[in-house]
Chains A and B, each alone.
Chain A
Amino acid sequence: MNDLEERLSAAFHARAEQVRPEHLVPAPSPATARRRPPVLRVAVAALAAGAVAATVAVSAGRAGSPEQAGEPPIATHGPQTEPVVKLLVQRLPADEPVSYDDAVATLSGATMTLRLAGDRWTFDVTHLDRPALTGVTVDLGRHVGYVLAVGPQGDPSIEVLVPGPGGRLVRATWSMALEGIELPTITPDPGYVGWSVWVGLDGRLHASAYRGSRVAEEVYRWTLPSAIPSGADEVELVPVAEPLEERP
């Protein structure tokens, strides 16, 4: 090994050793998760004006028994949860598919509105820097990057994972609309590494937070209300039941 090779080896080790275990996002642990029950803060300002006043409801839905809440399985856990999302970006109205790389770049910093039409989801994207790009179609059937579909094939459930803290690729603040019900902007707690929102078989929207891992650790789950109390400017939702245990 010559001098350059020796120096290279030393430099690689110096850089790698900078990465200490304590620098990493903590590995998931239900025990850790229980220490700080998070509250999902929902900004009401973004709600449609026609929202019906109602008491915030948190549905039942216990760990290990998603069927009780009429919810599909989470995407990353189980054989029936083949990754099933393909993200296509369309420049409307030209309808030109662009690459996933473009999609990632586009989603970064964008605000999205999600709609379901048949078996396809469509994101309407508002992006200050690229006003020409107005639509993103999520085609059930494939997986890409940080967007994962959930549920059995054909199930119109979708899960969008937003990495954080630091929100690397997709800004962790976004809005979505479904069947005419506009939902609030959600600002995830920056202490959580993953964030998802999906539609359950019960037709309701649910949110989950993932800490440390997007592999198998859904640590909290909320059910979003279909309406917000009149006059409220913020709604706090407590997690559904206990933190969910790791699934097989």
Chain B
Amino acid sequence: MLIHTEPGPDTVSARPPDVASLYAAHRLALVRLAVLLVDDLPSAEDVVQDAFAELARHPERLRDPGAAFGYLRTSVVNRSRSALRRRRTARGYVAPTSGDAPPADEQVVLAEEHATLLAAVRRLAPRQREVLVLRYWSGLSETEIAQACGIARGSVKSTASRALAVLERILTENGEQS
């Protein structure tokens, strides 16, 4: 199993948050997390940028400086969910001729198997998707996922279980062997 390694509290300074340093250290990892949640790189960059901007404006909200990455991760998860919500609304207004070309990074070919699976993931409910990404990419514990998603710990397991079941069903409907 591949698990992305995220920084623990011991790798973060206990001093008040230095947003610039946090930005340099964690931006890429957070953009990668966001791109799994919102699909396209520009949106992912915006989500992460806003998360940092919020921290810069309200450093007092981070009571434990050692928890900066977790704070930002939670912010990214929440903002990604909002971005998906806004996207659904915006699609109702965008003119057909306005263009909706995929960002360049999506044109890099993924292995067909990966692409098929990620397409199925996009059909999940946002919360289900978040839980799967945090579990199978970030490698978080149920407790950490619960914190990042703002749900009860007991809901994490059931949400993941349901998400996997839905994925199985989608792949089966699409003729995939799971």
Contacts and interface: CB of A to CB of B under 8 A. Distances in A.
B52 A16 contact: no
A19 interface: yes
Contacts of A25: 45
A76 B56 contact: yes
Interface string B45-67: 11001101100110000000000
B145 interface: no
Contact of B1 (A9, A18, A106): A9
B173 to A, nearest CB: 15
A7 B120 CA distance: 12
B2 A10 contact: yes
Interface stretch (B7-15, B131-139, B149-157): B131-139
A126 to B, nearest CB: 14
A14 B52 contact: no
A113 B119 CA distance: 41
A108 B167 CA distance: 34
Contacts of B86: 100-101, 104-105
Contact of A18 (B20, B50, B89, B108): B108
Given A8-B132, A24-B45, A19 B28 contact: yes
A106 B93 contact: yes
B23 A215 contact: yes
Interface footprint category on A: 35 or more
A206 B103 CA distance: 32
B90 to A, nearest CB: 4
A19 B42 contact: no
Given A14-B111, A15-B35, A215-B23, A105 B90 contact: yes
A246 B90 CA distance: 34
A227 to B, nearest CB: 35
Contacts of B57: 76, 81-83, 143
B118 interface: yes
A232 interface: no
A7 B116 CA distance: 11
Given A5-B164, A215-B52, A168 B42 contact: yes
13 contacts: A10-B2, A11-B117, A14-B114, A16-B35, A17-B32, A18-B35, A76-B56, A76-B57, A104-B86, A108-B94, A163-B46, A166-B103, A216-B20
Given A3-B178, A9-B137, 8 more contacts: A15-B36, A24-B28, A24-B41, A101-B90, A104-B86, A106-B93, A108-B98, A129-B93
